[in-house]
A = this chain, B = another copy of it.
């Protein structure tokens, strides 16, 4: 393919993402919806101007990894650990609920095979960290208590989803489940999440020194992107999704991540701010490419709208996909309004669901009808959840704890420590 044609594809993606994102924002809807719609509009579903190809997929991939890096930088690790118990409950509920619900409705109601039923259940377990985080960010709720619980749960969900995918894939190929390989994946991911932030912190000290020795030579953007890509690759090596590598690198560079023995306290605050300023334009450039590419990968034109099985199947699976995601939230302590907000934030399936469904389709496990119905369900949860969430917050947001904003006091203490 000619380079100038891909340049044109990227151009169309950036322009339509911007226009539809701005229209969404004008109607007070999260702009991520506009960007997803941009993908549907210019993709095979409607105009067919842009087809997803490996380059666009990769740019989108870099976009979502960098987004998770920025989320990591803005994450208060203490808060994430504080909400760790709640996140775990929400994640396990939001994993088991959809998995069992999806499996049983397929196996008992629609008489599908065990393997197909397992894959449908697996597809429903996913939680789209990218879309969840972006939506909460658009609503200014990322730092809130329920935002932190959801973020932690989405991260855990992604890890559990990948482990399940590895196990089910084994099962579909060999007809049996290999507990050893499942255990290895779990072990690797665990080691990765303990080692990665420490390693990233050490590297970032090097970048900090480089930037002081040679200012103005572009050390920060290149080195930080390289660092993020390295951790994405490392995550893949450990069997975890790439975007979790970006998150781990971001965590390490966040304002409130400190190594044992206070090794890095002195440089943290100013350096974090410099990194954020210089990386932000790059993140803003790449991230929309990811959301548009999710829209591009859906082809609503292939759906057979007249099949009764299709309608029954997609409606029942959709109901299960939505309500089972509330399972975990019901078991944690807190006001009912918070439980609902968390449950709603967990609904979007997005890219992870599409990866699952795509694997099922390419391995000939799903019939075309089952596949398109699942894509419909994913499209619905992905496109409309941000909208419902926005509506919910505008009606009941006052019942929830307010967005705490910047923690001014602790920043002051850090600043004093820096100046000493």
Contact = CB atoms under 8 A, between A and B. Distances in A.
A17 interface: yes
B282 A229 contact: no
A222 B3 contact: no
A7 B243 CA distance: 12
Contact of A222 (B55, B218, B219, B288): B288
A390 interface: no
B58 A6 contact: yes
Contacts of A282: 221, 281-282, 285
A181 interface: no
A351 interface: no
A220 interface: yes
A10 interface: yes
Contacts of A11: 226, 229-230, 233
Task: Pick from A17, A58, A288 the residue with the most CB of B within 10 Å.
Answer: A58
A118 B233 CA distance: 47
A10 B54 contact: no
Interface string A216-241: 01111111011001101100100000
A175 to B, nearest CB: 26
A8 interface: yes
B225 A3 contact: no
A225 B285 contact: yes
Interface residues of A, number: 46
A232 B4 contact: yes
A61 B3 contact: yes
B55 A214 contact: no
Nearest to A226: B14
A274 to B, nearest CB: 11
B18 A226 contact: yes
A157 interface: no
A278 interface: yes
A285 B278 CA distance: 11
Interface of A: 1, 3-4, 6-8, 10-11, 14-15, 17-18, 22, 25, 31, 54-55, 57-58, 61-62, 210, 214, 217-223, 225-226, 229-230, 232-233, 236, 242, 278-282, 284-285, 288
Given A18-B222, A54-B54, 15 more contacts: A3-B61, A4-B233, A7-B229, A8-B233, A11-B226, A11-B229, A14-B226, A15-B226, A18-B226, A22-B214, A22-B217, A31-B217, A279-B281, A281-B281, A281-B282
